[in-house]
Amino acid sequence: RRPAGPAFVPHWRRVRRAPKEVAPAAPKVFLKGQKVILETPITVKDLSSKLGIKASNIITKLLMEHNIGATMNQSLDEETVALLALDFGIEAEFKKAKRPEEELKVELAVPSRTADLVSRPPIVTFMGHVDHGKTSLLDAIRKTNVAGGEVGGITQHIGAYRVETNGRSVVFLDTPGHEAFTAMRARGSQATDVAVLVVAADDGVMPQTEEALNHAKAAGVPVVVAINKIDKPEANPMRVKQQLAKLGLVPEEWGGKTGFVETSATTKKGLEELLERLLLEAEILELKANPKGTARGVVLEARLHEGRGVVATVIIQDGTLHLGDPLLCGQASGRVRAMYNDRGQAVTEAGPSYPVSVSDLSTIPEAGEKFYVLKDMQRAKGIALDRQKQLREAGLKERSHVSLENLYTKIEAGKVKELKLILKADVKGSLEVLENMLEELSTGEVKVRILHSGIGSITESDVILADASDAIIIGFYVALEEGVSGLAEGRGVEIRHYQVIYDITRDVKAAMEGLLEPEKKEVVTGQVEIKQVFKI
């Protein structure tokens, strides 16, 4: 018996014909006079079966008339399909295919019942100038509040650790510094609830202290100040308070809102007090989560572990994570096969604010990626694959951060209410003048907000802040640090260079009013050398 399917032709009887000339395929009769409803994006294959037109005809048409080289499984967007429909004389109506991602959004938007909400521990990041004692403070707190009470006293570095004080917990992120903090924000996540700004009492406020503070402010994260190295004879906490008060961090005892704690990583002075203060901030913030809900949170770091596969250390922001849960994490998916806490103990579940390392995922997610637990593995896998595909396709498109050129359109569309700027200049004098002049350009519709201003070259940290906060960088008489130009291009961040202050205010004003002339770019297409000049 012959197998079912197309008529069997033995190979010796198969004739190789020259490809037939493609006749403009008429739509199948059943389509005449009736509208086809198409969901886009659609693959050539699916389109072919929907329209009743051979895929090869579609491919030829695309190539010959629209100069698009397509394959069977290529997905076509609405514009292309509309052209094709026109070619084939078909009346088409379009419907956007609902992407699994959108369904996910709906699913995740369901709020927890207030009755289920309980307080969760605050998640804290240390920031500040280099050598002011961030790492030492992290270590000192870990040693006093974790290791002491544990058998063996070994803690695992999993990107975060939890300490206990008087029966309540505080969680510290292990990578101190505002760069890591903002890099995470640039990926759309914020794990930190409270930032501790570490300032050495002998050194006082330094450029990176200010930078760190501006990063925390841009993220809207409350700041507690640790005046560290208080054990040093040269320590001058009063000066630190005065310097920070000028930057808007006014100590409570002076009528302000900011908590200041004097600490020493060396003598351990003030550590308990710092923890108490952080718990107080958490109370003010009313940090709540629903331990009964499905887990969601942020990836702190991830790597390939020999024997365990892809291991991600995550911090749970809401819900409880269980062994066996299906995870979706950026473009990665996987079941939680093993889970360890920050003390290296295997655990079967982890609640809000807990850091754990989980394995095994399909690919390595990036730090700052959000993760969710979904109902079943199939969906997690489906969405992860969809995201991979989406990313490949979007790779061709540019990211659309705000720029002076697109500012007006974004304002009109109601997408921008604040023009965020990062200013870098060669001297302090110009910075002050610039800040004032630019802020005065604010109108009722758009407020000009200076996220950060500093002296010196434009750095990677500036670009990451701009990326995370959708800001434009303006440089006045400054250069770019190495690698910054490429990073900015990759992230779609605009950097503008100026040599005249008036030009900056003129351009920003024009951009806000939609009157900015398109930027003229010189493109060198060739060079000539003049060898001789003749007089004619």
Interaction site with ligand GDP (CB under 6 A): 128, 130-136, 176, 228-229, 231-232, 264-266
Contact 369, 298 (CB under 8 A): yes
| CB 293, CB 320: distance < 8 Å | yes
SS3 251: strand
| Residue 162 C-beta: closest distance to ligand GDP, Å | 20
In angstroms, give the least distance from the CB of 382 to ligand GDP. Answer: 43
CB of 208 to ligand GDP, least distance (A): 9
Phi, psi for residue 331 in degrees, rounded to 5: -95, 10
The whole-angstrom separation of Cα 59 and Cα 73 is: 11
Give me the residues paired with residue 43 across strands.
75
Cross-strand bridge partners of residue 497 = 475
How far, rounded to the nearest angstrom, does the alpha carbon of residue 168 sit from its chain's CA centroid? 31
Residue 130 or 536: the one with the smaller Cβ distance to ligand GDP is 130
Q: How many helices (H) and strands (E) does the chain have?
A: 15, 25
When the beta carbons of 128 and 352 are compared against ligand GDP, the nearer one is 128
Q: How far apart are CA 81 and CA 428, in angstroms?
A: 57
Q: How far is the CB of 43 from ligand GDP (least distance, A)?
A: 53
CB of 226 to ligand GDP, least distance (A): 9
Give the nearer residue to ligand GDP in terms of CB position, either 34 or 267.
267
CB of 238 to ligand GDP, least distance (A): 17
Round to whole Å and give the CA distance between 477 and 408.
26
Closer residue to ligand GDP (CB): 201 or 361? 201
Q: For residue 173, what is the enclosing H or E element?
A: strand 168-173
Q: How far, in Å, CA of 71 to CA of 47, rounded?
A: 12
Strands 75-76, 42-43: parallel, antiparallel or unpaired by DSSP? antiparallel
Q: How far is CA 152 from each of CA 148, 155, 344, 356, rounded to the nearest angstrom? A: 9, 9, 11, 19
Report d(CA 463, CA 461) in Å as an integer. Answer: 5
| DSSP bridge pairs for 160 | 173
- 134 or 370: CB nearest ligand GDP: 134
**Is 102 within 8 Å of 273 (Cβ atoms)?**
no
Contact 435, 450 (CB under 8 A): yes
Using DSSP bridges, classify how beta strands 447-455 and 418-425 pair: parallel, antiparallel or unpaired.
parallel
Considering beta carbons, is residue 136 or 182 the nearer one to ligand GDP? 136
The CB-of-266 to ligand GDP minimum distance in angstroms stands at 4
Q: Which amino acid is at 311?
A: V
**Smaller CB distance to ligand GDP: residue 80 or 264?**
264
CB of 138 to ligand GDP, least distance (A): 8
Nearer to ligand GDP, 266 or 457 (CB): 266
Minimum distance from CB of 400 to ligand GDP (Å)? 36
- CA 444 from chain center: how many Å? 29
Alpha helix (H) residue ranges in 338-483: 377-394, 407-412, 428-439, 460-469
Q: Of 231 and 366, which CB lies nearer to ligand GDP in the complex structure?
A: 231
Helix (H) or strand (E) holding 318: strand 309-318
Residue 70: CB minimum distance to ligand GDP, A:
54
CB of 286 to ligand GDP, least distance (A): 30
Nearer to ligand GDP, 130 or 346 (CB): 130
